[in-house]
């Protein structure tokens, strides 16, 4: 059964990994979907994969001007939004003492400020019954060495989801979070580390994982679909962890 028939959705960071899998699944379930990203090539590939009815928008989640432009394009194409997935984020593993002010500002502009203002600017398009889903991370509770800026930003998002859930439920808008553990996406290749170092970290993740493997982007997308759909009509301010049990022993 299709769960999003006649619905419209915007997925930020929808040109890769979890965002792309989510956009694809939403379309399979009958939604009209817009995605954002920065990279023109992966946006083009995503557009091809998602089909002509999808709207692929080049938009920097760290720029309020870009966010407003993307939402204006969504308004023009769809007229309203039923589902917003605030998913775009960057991770740049860096030892604490080496984090520069510029890096701190850049990561927070995309991962925290960008999400905050994407939701705020999307509000006029969100009608009663709408669902906002924020992609957090299990690092928001567990912490993660070399990810101090990223993990703290995700913790801020967890808090934001609680506040907005309370503030917006009166308008019929549900706000929830999906919190992935290690998921196999192109994101790992963007860490700026040598391939062997990334592989060593990935091997360690698998060794520590109760499920004994990485998760797939589709497994996170299925949870986003649940939160987006009427199946989650009484789910408000929740964070659903999708990590194969990774965070349980912590
Ligand atoms: N994979 C995991 O293990 C894992 C674990 C916990 C949480 N997460 C979270 O899951 C979400 C998706 O990550 P992923 O693993 O799917 O990584 P990914 O494949 O690297 O996807 C990240 C997406 O975000 C977009 N993005 C990054 N900065 C952006 C910006 N300034 N403006 C617009 N788009 C931007 C990227 O597009 P461009 O390259 O075009 O900018 C890309 O589409 C993120 O919030 C991440 O923190 C992932």
CATH number of the domain encompassing residue 162: 3.40.50.720
Coil, helix or strand for 141? Answer: helix
Atom of ligand 1 nearest to the CA of 61: 32
Residue 95 lies in a domain: yes
How many residues can be counted in the chain? Answer: 250
Is 150 catalytic? The answer is yes
Cα–Cα distance measured from residue 38 to residue 3, given in angstroms and rounded to the nearest whole number: 29
Residue 161 lies in a domain: yes
pLDDT the model gives residue 249: 82
Q: Per the structure block, which two tokens stand in for 161?
A: 């989801």
pLDDT the model gives residue 203: 95
Residue 3 lies in a domain: no
User: Do the beta carbons of residue 38 and residue 63 sit within 8 Å?
Assistant: no
Residue 184 lies in a domain: yes
Residue 171 lies in a domain: yes
Residue 186 lies in a domain: yes
pLDDT the model gives residue 149: 98
Active-site residue, selected from the candidate residues 147, 150, 188, 246:
150
Atom of ligand 1 nearest to the CA of 91: 47
- pTM equals 0.98
Cα–Cα distance measured from residue 11 to residue 33, given in angstroms and rounded to the nearest whole number: 7
pLDDT the model gives residue 192: 87
| Residue 115 Cβ contacting ligand 1 at under 6 Å | no
DSSP β-bridge partners for residue 34: 10, 55
| Residue 140 Cβ contacting ligand 1 at under 6 Å | no
Q: Is 185 exposed, middle or buried (0-12, 13-18, 19+ CB in 10 A)?
A: buried
55 to 6, 86, 105, 162, 207: CA distances (angstroms) = 16, 16, 29, 30, 39
Residue 20 lies in a domain: yes
* pLDDT by 10s per residue, the chain, length 250: 999 999 999 999 999 999 999 999 999 999 999 999 999 999 999 999 999 999 999 999 999 999 999 999 999 999 999 999 999 999 999 999 999 999 999 999 999 999 999 999 999 999 999 999 999 999 999 999 999 999 999 999 999 999 999 999 999 999 999 999 999 999 988 988 899 999 999 999 999 999 999 999 999 999 999 999 999 999 999 999 999 999 998 6
Chain centre to alpha carbon of residue 200? 25
Q: 18 CA to middle of ligand 1, Å? A: 7
Q: Per the structure block, which two tokens stand in for 238?
A: 């929740």
User: Do the beta carbons of residue 179 and residue 242 sit within 8 Å?
Assistant: yes
pLDDT the model gives residue 189: 87
Q: Which residues form the domain of 127?
A: 8-242
Beta strand segments in the chain, E: 8-12, 32-37, 55-58, 81-86, 126-135, 174-180, 183-184, 215-216, 239-242
Of 12, 14, 18, best ligand 1 pocket probe by most atoms within 8 Å of the beta carbon: 18
Residue 247 lies in a domain: no
User: Number of folded domains in the chain?
Assistant: 1
pLDDT the model gives residue 206: 96
Chain centre to alpha carbon of residue 54? 18
| Residue 56 Cβ contacting ligand 1 at under 6 Å | no
Residue with tokens 């309020």: 64
DSSP string, 30-93: T-EEEEEES-HHHHHHHHHHH-TTSEEEE--TT-HHHHHHHHHHHHHHHSSEEEEEE-------
């Amino acid at each position: 059964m299709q769960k999003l028939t006649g619905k419209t959705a915007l997925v930020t960071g929808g040109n890769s990994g979890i965002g792309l899998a989510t956009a694809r699944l939403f379309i399979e379930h009958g939604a009209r979907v817009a995605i954002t990203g920065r990279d023109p090539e992966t946006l083009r590939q995503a557009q091809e994969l998602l089909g002509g009815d999808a709207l692929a928008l080049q938009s920097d989640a760290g720029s309020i001007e870009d966010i407003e432009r993307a939402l204006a394009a969504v308004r023009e194409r769809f007229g309203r939004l039923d589902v917003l997935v605030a998913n775009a984020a960057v991770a740049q593993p860096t030892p604490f003492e080496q984090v520069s002010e510029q890096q701190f500002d850049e990561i927070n502009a995309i991962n925290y400020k960008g999400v905050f203002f994407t939701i705020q600017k999307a509000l006029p398009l969100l009608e009663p019954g709408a669902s906002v889903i924020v992609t957090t991370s299990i690092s928001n509770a567990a912490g993660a060495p070399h990810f101090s800026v990223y993990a703290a930003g995700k913790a801020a998002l967890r808090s934001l989801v609680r506040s907005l859930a309370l503030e917006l439920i009166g308008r019929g808008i549900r706000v929830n979070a999906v919190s992935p553990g290690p998921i196999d996406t192109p994101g790992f290749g963007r860490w700026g580390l040598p391939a062997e170092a990334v592989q060593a970290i990935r091997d360690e993740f698998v060794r520590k994982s109760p499920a004994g493997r990485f998760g797939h982007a589709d497994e996170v997308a299925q949870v986003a679909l649940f939160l987006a759909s009427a199946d989650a009509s009484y789910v408000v301010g929740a964070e659903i962890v999708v990590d194969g049990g990774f965070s349980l022993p912590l």
